[in-house]
Chains A and B, each alone.
Chain A
Amino acid sequence: MEDHFEELLLNLKQVVGFIFPNEIELHWGLLIVVYPYVTGLVAGAFILASLERIFNIEELKPTYRLSLITALAFLFVAPLPLLSHLGHPELSFEIFLTPHLQSAMAMFGFVYIWYLMVVLLLEIWFDYRKDLVVWSRNETGLKKYMYKILTLGATDLSDRALRFDKKAGKFITIIGIPSAFILHGYVGFIFGSVKANPWWSSVLMPIVFLFSAIVSGIAIMILIYGFTTLIRWKKFQMGCLDKLGSYLMYAIILDLSLELLDFIHRLYESEESIKIISQMVSSRLFLSLVIIQLILGSILPLVGLVLVRVRPLPDELRRLIYFGSAILVQVGIFSTRWNVVVGGQLFSKSFRGLTIYKVQVLGIEGLLMSIGLLLLPFVILWALIKIIPPWPEAETVVPSAAAERKE
């Protein structure tokens, strides 16, 4: 308790202007920054996979399954920052048992379950079912049983069944896109609907969140595709990378214009909060918003990606630009989340002062925990890749129905 006061006193020394007593300390810290960042990656990766599926984009084939299981890996981690933020995580399951339909926050669990069970897992299951069946026949030992269980007993490999898998997959993709929009739009909605906070309260918030999600999702797929191709000693399919690069470019353009629209709208509306917000942007958030989010995270990658389109560059250089842009975009989008979550709490509701946020290193809401939570999806992804390899060459060839009958 005393330590806590000491800390508050230190913060108080850096407060500028007038703030209310309960505003010295931020309540939503680094973990709450990680949460929208991770769900954004889920939604973005899934939407990328859906584009491939619905529009049948041949170049993106190598990333289809990879995107799906990347989305899954990040989705598993998405609720963890929230859980670790709770004072009583062990009571959190009660929120499922007693749904509160009028509370957007309380509905998160259901949005999440819907997306996990009805969209992502189902789509992956339908897509992998024939492989699961074949693997369950060819593998031995424990693995055999694992695959058997994963098939859920649906071992029919007839043409009709396979055709149904395809149709069902497509159908789920079609429900999946609005669902992915809802999942991440939902996160934006939570912030956008806080009436009392002028930095958050904006109808554009869910939309801006969504497009930044798409940006980050495409960028992470460029990185994951690049990295997995490298460590598997495979040749890059430049067609695929070019396509991803061009999507990334369009997504950044859309995202950037939406954010500028939001910005101009705020300036033009010029509500009473505009003074403190501009003070915040030019002081506390200058580095993370102007330098990192805008210049490093949006404009610089955009310049690179446009350059690739207007000038024929050698493959090597193009790859470098794609990876460089993708990394910058990740940093930029993380910064975006930071600016929304932390920025919204830095200024006083009196519009007269700014507080400060210092990231702790240790502790359940600290830096190490957040780094752990950001690495965890990659561990899960690695495990998923081991269980259901997403590579095109791992895909099994189904013995034709005729051969089946002869057996």
Chain B
Amino acid sequence: MKYKGKLFRASKEATGDLNAKVGKIPQQLKSLFVLFLVLISLFFLLRHFFTPDTFGKYGHYRAAAIDSIMSQPLRYAGAQLCMECHDDIYALKIESYHRDVSCEGCHGPAIAHTEDPSEFVPPAPRERGYCPLCHEYNPSRPTGFPQIDLTSHNPPKPCIDCHDPHDPKPPHTPEQCSACHAEIYRTKAVSHHAPLLCTRCHEAPEAHKDQPRMHLPSKPTSRTFCGECHAMEADSPKDIPRIMMSDHGIGYVCWQCHYPHYPEVR
């Protein structure tokens, strides 16, 4: 009994203490406490009701997202499907240099075509501008990737006049300088220097053909070089026009006035 009374008194003191303490807490803190309590409970409430059902089924995401992505319309059919009807082309291409280029990479998304070939026929890129997207010369393309210079590679004919897109024949490897320096080659071919080999004036190491930039050929450096054929006293065929080395264009190298690949005198 006595014990109980003590306990009662003690608890009464405690609540009194608490009251005093609570009274001391600034009013602002109480309001904020209530506000944050409401907000935090709101958060948990929302979390309870709005967390997507399938969340966490496979990982930290909404499993149903997979279904909604799967339900997006397909556009590409894949080469396997093309094979069912165009087996000839497929067989041709699979052996060709274009084996790794997909049908729809050139023909565009064609799933509608596989469902009903007469309803939708995929376009075929017949124009000349298309193939250079991959084959135009670009220094950063990997070495050895077949490239052409659009302005000089047989303009203005469409590429498919000479190359079958499904079986681009391997053209002979560039054993001559023309494969890469086609413009210079063509220019020279119609100039007075046509009979001269490139290597008469440029010492080109074999490696230049594999890694052109790493192994640059030489270029003529002095007037005496041209003089080997064109000087009055030069030991060269008679029909070559001669000049007086001592007073012709003195003070300049010859190619400041004559383009060596297309020398003209006018």
Contact = CB atoms under 8 A, between A and B. Distances in A.
A353 interface: yes
A161 B28 contact: yes
A117 B28 contact: no
Contacts of A96: 43
A152 B31 contact: yes
Contact of A353 (B56, B62, B140): B140
B28 A97 contact: no
A154 B56 CA distance: 42
Contacts of B139: 17
A100 B138 contact: no
A140 B50 CA distance: 40
Contacts of B140: 17-18, 350, 352-353
Contacts of A97: 46-47, 50-51
A161 B26 contact: yes
Nearest to A122: B32
A93 B31 contact: no
Given A98-B55, A98-B60, A352-B140, A156 B50 contact: no
B32 A98 contact: no
A338 interface: no
A94 interface: yes
A257 to B, nearest CB: 36
A164 interface: yes
A13 to B, nearest CB: 10
Interface in B126-157: 133, 138-141
A156 B27 contact: yes
A352 B46 CA distance: 49
B30 interface: yes
A156 B26 contact: yes
B32 A152 contact: yes
B28 A129 contact: yes
Nearest to B62: A94
A332 to B, nearest CB: 33
Query: What is the interface residue range for chain A against chain B?
Result: 20 to 34
A165 interface: yes
A18 B51 contact: no
B39 A117 contact: yes
A274 interface: no
Contacts of A154: 27-28, 30-32
Interface string A158-202: 001100110010000000000000000000000000000000000
B14 interface: no
B194 to A, nearest CB: 35
A153 to B, nearest CB: 5
B35 interface: yes
A12 interface: yes
B117 interface: no
A50 to B, nearest CB: 20
B52 interface: yes
A17 B60 contact: no
Nearest to A19: B140
Given A17-B139, A97-B47, A164 B26 contact: yes
A115 interface: no
Nearest to B50: A97
Contacts of A93: 50
A88 to B, nearest CB: 10
A261 B62 CA distance: 44
A334 interface: no
Contacts of A352: 140
A64 interface: no
Nearest to B141: A18
Given A152-B32, A154-B28, A12 B133 contact: yes
Contacts of A117: 39
Contacts of B50: 93-94, 97
A35 interface: no
Nearest to A352: B140
B177 to A, nearest CB: 25
A12 B51 CA distance: 42
B28 A94 contact: no
Nearest to B142: A18
Contacts of B47: 97-98
A385 B138 CA distance: 59
Interface in B43-64: 43, 46-47, 50-52, 55-56, 60, 62
B38 to A, nearest CB: 11
A185 B43 CA distance: 27
A353 B35 CA distance: 55
Nearest to B48: A97
A18 B35 contact: no
A126 interface: yes
A103 to B, nearest CB: 8
A156 B35 CA distance: 17
Contacts of A164: 26, 28
A181 B28 CA distance: 27
For the complex of A and B, the 6 pairs showing the least CB-CB separation, nearest first, are A18-B140, A152-B31, A352-B140, A17-B140, A154-B31, A156-B27
21 contacts: A12-B133, A18-B138, A18-B141, A93-B50, A94-B52, A97-B46, A97-B50, A98-B47, A100-B60, A117-B39, A151-B31, A152-B32, A153-B31, A154-B30, A154-B32, A160-B26, A161-B26, A164-B28, A165-B28, A350-B140, A353-B140
Given A94-B51, A165-B28, A350-B140, 5 more contacts: A17-B138, A97-B50, A155-B27, A161-B27, A352-B140
